[in-house]
Amino acid sequence: MQAFDVNKKEINAFDFGETYLFTAYFDENQIFNQIEKYHNFDNYRFEVLKEEVKKVQQVLHNFLHELVVQKSPEEFCIVLDRDDTLPNILTRSVINSRDLTEKCS
């Protein structure tokens, strides 16, 4: 029998001591329903206690998602000056509408 590789959708998670944090949107209600108890609706993120992260990883694995724990969350952070304005922040973002316009031209 021939084996085949399946590309899983990676979801970045961040280890904050006793809690893992991640954000994701799931097209399938079945996934969300199984891990809904970990969802913090006020902060739009999932908050999973360390002792329960394996359970969540298994649920995601069953739906071809992989929870990837990032070792350096600071690489994903944006540090802003108090005086920064939204246009300045967006100009320095990884990608913005101006970049997209130039790529599509």
Residue 42 lies in a domain: yes
Residue 30 lies in a domain: yes
On the question of pLDDT at 100 being above 90, the answer is no
Residue 35 lies in a domain: yes
Count: domains in the chain: 1
Residue 70 lies in a domain: yes
Residue 1 lies in a domain: no
Domain that holds residue 63: 9-104
Count of beta carbons in the 10 Å neighbourhood of residue 31 = 17
- Is the Cβ–Cβ distance between 68 and 74 less than 8 Å? no
For 14-64, the pLDDT digits (tens) are 988 899 999 999 888 999 999 999 999 988 899 999 999 999 999 999 999
